Amino acid sequence: MRARRLLLIDYNPDDIMLVTRALRKQSGWQYEIDLAYTSEEGIRAAAAKRYDCILTDYNFPGISGMELYIRLASCCPATPIIVLTGQVDQAIAARLIKQGAQDYINKGAMSSEKLHQLICDAIAGKNNDVNSAAPGKEEYDVLVVDDNEDDVEFYIRGLSKLDPGYRFSHVNSGQAALKVIDMRPPDCVLLDYCLPGANGLDVLNRILMLRPHLPVIILTGQGSETIAVESIKRGAENYMVKAQFSPELLHRNIREAVSLKRLENALAAKEHELETKNRELNKTNAFLDMVLDIMPGYFFVKDENFKLLRANAQFIALYPDKSKDKIIGYTTVEDYTEEDARAFLENDCLAFKHGKHETNETILFPNGEQRTLFTQKKRFTDEDGQHFLMGIASDVTEREALISQLQKSNADLEEFAYIASHDLKSPLNGIRKLVSWIHDDYREQLPAEVQEYFSLINSRAERMARLLEDLLEYSRIGSRLTAPETIQLHDMVADVHQINDGHANFTVHVPQVEVVMPRIGLQIVLVNLLSNTIKHHDTGKGHIRLLLNQAPGGYQLEYKDDGPGIAAQYHHKVFNMFQTLRPRDEVEGSGMGLAVVKKVVEHYQGHICLNNCADGVHFSIFWPYSTTEGAARENGNGI
């Protein structure tokens, strides 16, 4: 059995018996009631003990019911107080509620059940006031705009009993309401239709102009269908007649109005957010379209069914005007035969299958023009797992034509150099033989001066033969160069060095390292550098050093000798064809050695330069890694 301790303050024995008998009839509850027969006695008892609820009569000799209530509330503010009265006076009741009384009851209408329920509600209501921030309760800020204090108190009392989550503010004029709404908008407005000096509908208009999404419920003392319709038309959420007032109905209308407006506000915010994002998206798309349209090539995106989803202006411009409405959303091969369509889409299939594909392809444009395109296609996947194909095509018709012309010119030039050197060698060999025969047959009969002339002729013929050989070698560089392979640098230099006459008088210092380089190309470079040193050395013997370092993207070769060197004013000439810095009568040579070296190095995208130094020559050569070796070094697998 649940127990409650009450304080009953009343001087009338009949009323005391009425209350105590009514409470003792409640099954399941045990009411422990302390009695106080005077107001002072009651105040002392309330201050001395903690009660679950206080019941006090409104009428006491020598003190007003309102004063008694105020003194009780001040000494025990956490205890709910219910006022007992023998008068049916709503004004008195409203003032008590306004001061904070939990409720009141008319003794003449009191029953056991009613009194018990009133006490239960009073205790629960007081607890809710103390724990007003309890989780799970929805709170409503309600502004009541009404000049009738009694009506206001009944709204507040009725709604507070139904839901402790209400917070009320009250003004008695439309102007005051607008100020409150402007400073701190409530969740809902209860607006009396009849206000002093103002029409409720006019106030409604001004409220909604200030806060369009604020729910307003019109309250009126007289039912009028015209007013109701006009209120709803002007934006009120609902319309209620005071005479038909029910706290439950008002509570339901407030909740529905607030929920509806909150939903409308959320929807409006989402719509605004969506509009903002759409504007941003449209701006981004417009910028992307602008970028794509100024691209010099052709851009397009296709789906897995080969339908075009997007294309830039250059791509669209390929098609005649009558066909431009059948590009986006179409494969553009709808009118092809099955075989032709399959051939047209073959590269798209390869790109979808392998992830990417690039090729030079000759395309017959819709305008009848045949062009060569370099097309790169790449597959990509969106967040939903759908595959698409992006393609970028560049018109390389003129470039391919130029490459073809250059290839033909190079082939013609190589053929010319070969034929020229071959055809010139035949008469030159004939001249050399005739001179040799004359010299052998008539050497004893010829004066010394003539024999010297014959020696000069033979020397010039040898020089011409060497020049023709070097010219032929130079023309064949591009076709003779091979792919990279693993080479022991020290062993290769030793083998190449022995080819040159006079090599025994020169010592070559080379590190024992392994490199990946084209064998024939490296041999040509080394032969010419070593030969150049041996031929031009001023003492006929010396030292040659070849150093190798790793550089970003390739090898750095440093070639040094201890010869006479090359004067700085001739540095810009050393790599020119047929360029010799000493007379050929002193040093035999075609003047093409360093030109050949430069051509070979540049063939492999490298470069060579002659450095300034105090003695000897110092060539720096950068030789890029091969494609496969570069990838291996990036992965940490390089030598």
Asked if 152 and 170 count as a contact pair (C-beta separation under 8 A), the reply is yes
Using alpha carbons only, how large is the chain's radius of gyration in Å? Answer: 55
Give the per-residue pLDDT at 308: 93
Confidence of residue 71 (pLDDT cuts 50, 70, 90): confident
Give the per-residue pLDDT at 461: 74
Q: Which two tokens stand for residue 510?
A: 């080379």
| 378 pLDDT higher than 90 | yes
User: Which tens digits make up the pLDDT trace of 458-507?
Assistant: 777 776 676 566 656 655 655 555 678 899 999 989 988 887 778 889 99
**Distance (Å, rounded) from C-alpha 615 to C-alpha 563?**
7
High-pLDDT (> 70) share of the chain, %? 85
Which of 500, 589, 511, 494 is CA-nearest to residue 548?
Answer: 511
Q: Which helix (H) or strand (E) holds 4?
A: strand 2-9
Q: Which two tokens stand for residue 490?
A: 């020290």
Range among 132-141, 201-210, 244-253, 568-577 rated most confident: 201-210
User: Which tens digits make up the pLDDT trace of 90-109?
Assistant: 566 666 766 667 777 877 77
3-state SS, residue 182 = helix
Give the per-residue pLDDT at 476: 60
Give the per-residue pLDDT at 75: 81
Per-residue burial over 159-196, b = 16 or more CB atoms within 10 Å of its CB, e = otherwise: bbbebbbbebebbbbbeebbebbeeeebbbbbbbbebe
Alpha carbon separation from 410 to 403, 479, 600 (Å, rounded): 10, 11, 16
Lowest-pLDDT range of 139-153, 189-203, 616-630: 616-630
Which of 252, 249, 242 is CA-nearest to residue 219?
Answer: 242
User: Which tens digits make up the pLDDT trace of 535-594?
Assistant: 888 888 899 999 999 999 899 999 999 988 888 877 777 877 555 555 444 444 445 678
Confidence of residue 280 (pLDDT cuts 50, 70, 90): very high
Q: Is the dihedral of CA 286, 292, 294, 300 positive or negative?
A: negative
| 630 pLDDT higher than 70 | no
Side-by-side strand order, sheet with 308-311: 308-311, 298-303, 387-395, 370-381, 356-364
Residue range 217-230: mean pLDDT, rounded = 82
- Cα dihedral value 129, 134, 137, 140, nearest 10: 50
Which of 193, 197, 194, 188 is CA-nearest to residue 163?
Answer: 188
* Number of Cβ atoms within 10 Å of the Cβ of 526: 23
Q: Is the dihedral of CA 500, 503, 509, 511 positive or negative?
A: positive
User: Which tens digits make up the pLDDT trace of 124-164?
Assistant: 776 655 454 344 456 789 999 998 888 888 888 888 888 88
Looking at this protein, which amino acid is placed at residue 278?
A: N
DSSP string, 131-150: TTT-TT---EEEEEE-S-HH
User: Which tens digits make up the pLDDT trace of 398-454?
Assistant: 888 888 888 787 777 777 766 666 666 677 777 778 878 887 887 778 788 877 877
Average model confidence (pLDDT) across the chain? 82
Give the per-residue pLDDT at 127: 64
| 86 pLDDT higher than 60 | yes
What the chain holds in terms of domains, given with CATH numbers, is 2-130 (3.40.50.2300), 140-266 (3.40.50.2300), 297-391 (3.30.450.20), 396-475 (1.10.287), 483-639 (3.30.565.10)
